[in-house]
Structure 1
Amino acid sequence: MLASVDGAIGPAGEARVPVTDDGLLRGDGAFDALRLYGGRPFALDEHLTRFERSCAGIRLECDHAALRREIAALLEAAGPVDGVLRFYATRGGRRIVLVLPLPQRPAVARLATIRYAPNRVTDGLKTFSYAANMLASRLAQEQGYDDALLVTPHGRVLEGTTSSFFWVRDGVLRTPPLEDRIFGSITRERLIAVAGAIEEPTTLDTLHGAEEAFLASSVREVQPVAVIDELRLAATPGPVTLHAHARLREAIEREL
């Protein structure tokens, strides 16, 4: 694991930022993350563009040109690894870049629905403020599940804690719409384009007609879902899920 703090590269475990940084004290900062394939970042420019938008959205100044140079230097130092590239800007003025191993996840996920109300002030921005998402994941794990599926108090299905949610009914791939204030994932956009997914408002009632489901993100790609609360999906992974993952991998290979 390697880290760069304002351009200084070293072991991630030895990287330091001041404890007075409001990125730590108040969770005030922006970040983004993407997957590395043999050291090659997928959709880096799109992630950097989204990162700049997040910084602008929370009125956070960052030297984006310097960050790009620091990312390039860290990738060169890390070599041809399969892993995760994460980069941050803190309110205290620090630029942090990390190359980390891929997280360990089960091949198939079991989800518990957790009530959640989206934060409209930071809608569409990728900020440090992930405490609610992490708590939702822990609450699901306390019930014996792998992760949480976020659902509004009115029963609208949104997304996973760090992923987009897709499901299948009548052989058609569907995903909740951005209008429901879910996060605009780059991987979600790719899957809609290459796998023919449609955006459709989703409720817990309509979800009971699901034949398949999966979570999707830059880091996990596609993770099939076997269980949502008491609902057991018949196909895990099913044919639509397998097709979507194959099309996504083809898109990744083309763009790399």
Structure 2
Amino acid sequence: MDELASVDGTIGPAAQMTIPVTDEGLLRGDGVFEVARLYAGRPFAWDEHVERLQRSAANLRLEFDLEAALAEVDALLAKVGPVDGAIRLVITRGGRRVAVVSPLPERQRAVALGTVRYAPTRVLDAVKSLSYAANMLASRLAREAGADEALLVSPHGRVLEAPTSAFFFVLDGRLHTPPLADHVLDSITRRHVLELTGATARVLHEDLLGELEEAFLASTTREVQPVSSIDGRPLPAVPGPQTTEAADALRHRIAAQLRLT
């Protein structure tokens, strides 16, 4: 699938679309974005993504034309047709509205995680901003250490999340995820998994990582992806029964809401 993009309503090949080099979304990462997965050209939980985009923009004191942005997304989706992929909507400080439809990244059946120290930026709580350099660096550091992806751990040893995914874990037979109070992103997929599985928010210290029975990452593009190991220690079950249950429940909800056959 070729990437198509819309910039302020003009649609064309993504590689050829441009924004001004003076836009502070580019120069300073000052802006907000959302990514939704497309199933046959239809975005799952789009209303929830739009609501979070509005909250993020409000928290950054970033005004934009929501009606125009949504109309441009609709026009882009009509252009690309019933594809499976992802739609990204970006709002920049310079006033640009950018929408991009792209293929899904290739994913392994299970992912090996490596812990990386990370201090969340408190002022960006509840903001899905363009300032993702720290997250991307964490992923590179984990890969340099031989893992597939990073597992972010606070300077005080609290397990947080992956750079672009929520983290779920099974301990003492129960499914948990780190609490929002630890400054993790209020992930939309995280919300759905919590609702579907009855998982609870629980603080997890890195000292307990070796005791986990199973774990998985959850995100818009990953859905539910089992974790095979953490810092080189294999997990007992990959995927474990609760991971499989969560994955099946999420897929069923997506199919039901989008009426997929």
TM-score class, shorter-chain normalisation, is over 0.9
RMSD between aligned residues = 0.8
> Residue in 1 aligned with 2:132?
130
Identity %: 57
Structure 1 residue ranges without an equivalent (≥5) = none
TM-score, normalised relative to structure 1 = 0.98
> Residue in 1 aligned with 2:205?
203
Does residue 106 of the first structure (1) align with residue 108 of the second (2)? yes
Tell me if structure 1 keeps the 8 A contact 2:209–2:230: no
Deviations 1:149-188 (A, max 9, x none): 0000110000001000001123211100111110000100
Deviation at 1:205, TM superposition (A): 1.6
Deviations 1:62-107 (A, max 9, x none): 1000001001000000100000010001111100000000011221
> Residue in 1 aligned with 2:170?
168
CA distance in 2, matches of 1:219, 1:104: 10
Tell me if structure 2 keeps the 8 A contact 1:171–1:240: no
Q: What letter is aligned with 1:137?
A: S
Poorly superposed stretches of 4+, deviation over 3 Å:
none
TM-score, normalised relative to structure 2 = 0.97
CA distance in 1, matches of 2:171, 2:146: 26
Count of equivalent residues: 256
> Residue in 1 aligned with 2:86?
84
CA distance in 2, matches of 1:161, 1:85: 19
Q: What letter is aligned with 1:49?
A: E
Q: What letter is aligned with 1:122?
A: L
CA distance in 1, matches of 2:220, 2:230: 22
Deviation at 1:250, TM superposition (A): 1.1
Deviation at 1:216, TM superposition (A): 0.4
CA distance in 2, matches of 1:192, 1:174: 9
Describe the SS at the equivalent of 2:211: coil
Tell me if structure 2 keeps the 8 A contact 1:195–1:248: no
Alignment of 1:88-237 (within 5 A): 88-237=90-239
Describe the SS at the equivalent of 2:89: strand
